[in-house]
């Protein structure tokens, strides 16, 4: 399909340096291009207020665009100094537990010009950037470019693995470069760098989070669980109990002590496991013990786990 301009209604023109299209078009996002077009077309002295009004961008987007063009040396301060981005100081590569003898690699910052040159000579990197934009559902920023190169060259992830990580983060609604790098770093530290390893880890996390989410919903908890509570929920699943049995144990707990207690629920479920009760019918048919004011465990312990809050120490 041919793209053709209709010049009929245009009465005013301004010049755009070829470098904008030749060198920076692949790197600049929408806000950056809006800002440079505003500056180039401005009859008077360009200003921050003028940019906000002309482009309709937020102050944050304008600031990011200014930083981008300063890093290229396109914009400068009043004294003529640019805010060019020198290469960051190299830092040592994190060492995975299983890769103690692996050769050292260094991570460094990348100037936008360097990335533009890399894209011209590295078709796979260009394809990775395109896949990343499609997966994240947004245009990439300079921070994304640096992070994606880092995941490939610094951490050693393959392109397919990187896209898999981005997809997992996008499903969670968290698409910032900082977040998906933190996920990748966590995988690296666990020794999960191959595609099939990452896929299994994500499947396990989704399954665990899904089961935990159902328990939280049944318990009426809308706050983050404590590590101990999460461990107990995982142990109940490993015992072979589904959400229906856990819900029944929760009901019996509240009926007995008038509050929600993870240790008490755990005690009920362990008792059912020992007796082989894995259906509501079997549990309900169990002989109910007579009420007693004495308990075989410390009642204060319940408060340490109730709704994830600790009892105040006196």
pLDDT, one tens digit per residue, over 31-72 is: 888 888 888 888 778 888 888 888 888 888 888 888 777 767
In this predicted structure, the answer to whether residue 138 has a pLDDT above a threshold of 70 is yes
Co-location of 60 and 24 in the same domain: yes
Within 13 Å, how many C-alpha atoms sit on residue 100's CB side?
Answer: 2
In this predicted structure, the answer to whether residue 301 has a pLDDT above a threshold of 80 is no
Q: Is residue 91 part of a domain?
A: no
User: What is the structure's pLDDT at 80?
Assistant: 61
Residue 204 Cα to chain centre, angstroms:
17
Question: What 3-state DSSP class applies to 5?
Answer: coil
DSSP one-letter code for 8: T
Handedness of CA 303, 307, 308, 309 (dihedral sign): negative
Q: Is residue 246 part of a domain?
A: yes
pLDDT, one tens digit per residue, over 168-221 is: 999 989 999 999 999 999 999 999 999 999 999 998 888 777 888 889 889 998
Q: Quote the mean pLDDT of the chain.
A: 80
Distance CA 251, CA 264 (A): 11
Q: 269 versus 308: which is more confidently predicted?
A: 269
Q: Is residue 266 part of a domain?
A: yes
| Banded model confidence at residue 222, pLDDT cuts 50, 70, 90 | confident
Domain that holds residue 26: 18-71
Co-location of 229 and 178 in the same domain: no
Q: 18 versus 227: which is more confidently predicted?
A: 227
Mean pLDDT for 151-157 is 91
Q: Is residue 144 part of a domain?
A: yes
User: What is the structure's pLDDT at 305?
Assistant: 52
Co-location of 167 and 240 in the same domain: no
User: What is the structure's pLDDT at 112?
Assistant: 85
pLDDT, one tens digit per residue, over 74-96 is: 887 766 655 444 444 444 445 55
Domain count, the chain: 3
Q: Is residue 13 part of a domain?
A: no
In this predicted structure, the answer to whether residue 231 has a pLDDT above a threshold of 80 is yes
Q: Which of 29-38, 91-100, 260-269, 282-291 has the highest mean pLDDT?
A: 260-269
Co-location of 223 and 287 in the same domain: yes
Q: Is residue 4 part of a domain?
A: no
Distance CA 256, CA 293 (A): 11
User: What is the structure's pLDDT at 91?
Assistant: 45
Handedness of CA 300, 217, 250, 237 (dihedral sign): negative
CB crowding 263-293: b at 16 or more within 10 Å, else e: bbbbbbbeebeeeebeeeeebeeeeeeeeee
In this predicted structure, the answer to whether residue 244 has a pLDDT above a threshold of 90 is yes
User: What is the structure's pLDDT at 78?
Assistant: 67
Q: 165 versus 2: which is more confidently predicted?
A: 165
User: What is the structure's pLDDT at 54?
Assistant: 86
Q: 18 versus 153: which is more confidently predicted?
A: 153
User: What is the structure's pLDDT at 131?
Assistant: 95
Q: Is residue 81 part of a domain?
A: no
Q: Is residue 154 part of a domain?
A: yes
End-to-end CA distance of the chain: 76
């Amino acid at each position: 399909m041919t793209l053709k301009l209709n010049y009929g209604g245009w009465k005013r023109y301004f010049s755009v340096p070829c470098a904008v299209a030749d060198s920076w078009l692949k790197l600049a996002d929408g806000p950056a291009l809006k800002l440079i077009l505003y500056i180039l077309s401005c009859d008077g002295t360009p200003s921050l207020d003028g940019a906000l009004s002309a482009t309709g961008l937020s102050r944050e987007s304008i600031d990011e665009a200014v930083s981008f063009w300063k890093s290229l040396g396109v914009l400068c301060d009043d004294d003529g100094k640019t805010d060019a981005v020198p290469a960051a100081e190299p830092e040592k590569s994190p060492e995975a537990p299983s890769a103690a003898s692996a050769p050292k690699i260094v991570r460094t910052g990348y100037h936008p010009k360097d990335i533009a040159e890399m894209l011209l000579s590295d078709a796979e990197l260009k394809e990775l950037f395109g896949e990343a934009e499609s997966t994240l559902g947004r245009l990439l920023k300079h921070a994304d470019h640096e992070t994606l190169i880092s995941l490939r060259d610094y951490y050693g992830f393959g392109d397919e693995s990187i896209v898999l990580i981005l997809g997992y983060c996008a499903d969670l609604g968290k698409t910032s470069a900082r977040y998906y790098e933190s996920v990748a770093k966590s995988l690296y530290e666990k020794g999960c760098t191959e595609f099939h390893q990452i896929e299994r880890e994500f499947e396990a996390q989704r399954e665990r989070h899904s089961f935990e989410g159902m328990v939280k919903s049944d318990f009426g908890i809308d706050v983050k669980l404590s590590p101990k509570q999460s461990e107990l929920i995982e142990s109940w699943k490993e015992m072979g109990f589904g959400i229906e049995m856990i819900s029944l144990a929760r009901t019996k707990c509240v009926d007995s002590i008038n509050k929600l207690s993870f240790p008490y629920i755990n005690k009920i479920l362990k008792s059912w496991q020992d007796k082989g009760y894995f259906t509501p019918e079997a549990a309900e048919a169990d002989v109910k013990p007579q009420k007693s004011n004495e308990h075989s465990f410390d009642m204060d312990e319940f408060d340490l786990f109730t709704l994830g809050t600790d009892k105040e120490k006196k």
